[in-house]
Amino acid sequence: MYQLPPALPPTPQAHVDKARSLLDRSVGASKILHLPESCERFSRDESEAEGRIPDLVVLAESAEDIRATLAAAQEARVPVTPRAAGTGRTGGAVPVAAGIVLDTTRMNSIVEIDRGDLVAVVQPGVILKDLHSAVEREGLFYPPDPNSVDSCALGGNIAENAGGPRAFKYGVTRDYVLGLDATLMGGTALRLGRRTVKGVAGYDLAGLFVGSEGTLGVVSSMTLQLIPKPEMVYTLFGLFSAPKDATRAVEAIIQRGVVPRCLEFTDGGALEAIRRQGVGIDPSAGAMLLIEVDGDESACDRDMVKVGEACTEIGAIDVLVAQDGVQRDKLWAARRELSRAIRELARNKLAEDVVVPRSRITDLLEAVERNGAEHRVRTLAYGHAGDGNLHVNFLWDEDDEVPRVQQCIEAMMRDVVAMRGTISGEHGIGVLKIPFLPIEQSEELIAVQRRVKDVFDPYGLMNPGKIFATSSHRGC
Residues that bind ligand FAD (CB under 6 A): 45-46, 81-89, 92-93, 104, 124, 146-148, 152-153, 155-157, 159-160, 162-164, 213-214, 218-219, 339-340, 426-427, 463
C-alpha–C-alpha distance, residues 444 and 451, integer Å: 11
Minimum separation from the CB atom of position 429 to ligand FAD (A): 10
Q: Which is nearer to ligand FAD, 304 or 382 (CB)?
A: 382
The sheet with strand 318-321 has its strands ordered as: 318-321, 232-240, 287-295, 262-267, 378-384, 389-396, 348-355
> Containing H/E element for 334?
helix 325-336
Minimum separation from the CB atom of position 148 to ligand FAD (A): 3
Minimum separation from the CB atom of position 446 to ligand FAD (A): 18
| Phi and psi based region of residue 372 (left: phi greater than 0; alpha: psi -120 to 50; beta: remaining) | alpha
Minimum separation from the CB atom of position 452 to ligand FAD (A): 16
Q: Which is nearer to ligand FAD, 337 or 369 (CB)?
A: 337
C-alpha–C-alpha distance, residues 416 and 129, integer Å: 32
> β-pairing, 227-228 with 262-267?
unpaired
Sign of CA dihedral 373, 374, 376, 381: negative
Q: Which residues contact 390 (CB under 8 A, 6 or more apart)?
A: 265, 353, 354, 355, 356, 361, 364, 365, 381, 382, 383, 384
Q: Which is nearer to ligand FAD, 54 or 286 (CB)?
A: 54
> β-pairing, 262-267 with 378-384?
antiparallel
Q: DSSP assignment, residue 466?
A: S
- What is the length of the chain? 476
Minimum separation from the CB atom of position 151 to ligand FAD (A): 7
Minimum separation from the CB atom of position 61 to ligand FAD (A): 13
Q: Which is nearer to ligand FAD, 145 or 245 (CB)?
A: 145
Q: Which is nearer to ligand FAD, 108 or 157 (CB)?
A: 157
Name residue 208's amino acid.
L
Minimum separation from the CB atom of position 333 to ligand FAD (A): 12
Q: Which is nearer to ligand FAD, 91 or 295 (CB)?
A: 91
Helix, strand, or coil (residue 253): helix
Q: Which is nearer to ligand FAD, 147 or 247 (CB)?
A: 147
Q: Which is nearer to ligand FAD, 102 or 314 (CB)?
A: 102
Q: How many CB atoms are closer than 10 A to CB 280?
A: 7
C-alpha–C-alpha distance, residues 465 and 456, integer Å: 16
> Containing H/E element for 207?
helix 205-209
Closest Cα to residue 50, out of 100, 103, 10, 90? Answer: 90
Q: Which is nearer to ligand FAD, 245 or 426 (CB)?
A: 426
- Separation in Å, CA 353 to CA 330, 356, 385: 24, 10, 12
Closest Cα to residue 55, out of 72, 67, 309, 63? Answer: 72
C-alpha–C-alpha distance, residues 290 and 250, integer Å: 11
Minimum separation from the CB atom of position 416 to ligand FAD (A): 17
Q: Which is nearer to ligand FAD, 371 or 463 (CB)?
A: 463
Minimum separation from the CB atom of position 172 to ligand FAD (A): 8
Q: Which is nearer to ligand FAD, 353 or 401 (CB)?
A: 353
Burial (Cβ within 10 Å: 0-12, 13-18, ≥19) of residue 25: exposed
Minimum separation from the CB atom of position 460 to ligand FAD (A): 15
Q: Which is nearer to ligand FAD, 84 or 412 (CB)?
A: 84
Q: DSSP assignment, residue 240?
A: E
Minimum separation from the CB atom of position 160 to ligand FAD (A): 4
Minimum separation from the CB atom of position 114 to ligand FAD (A): 22
Nearest 5°: CA angle at 440, between 247 and 98?
110
Q: Which residue is nearest to ligand FAD (CB)?
A: 156
Alpha helix stretches (DSSP H) within 8-84:
13-23, 36-39, 63-76
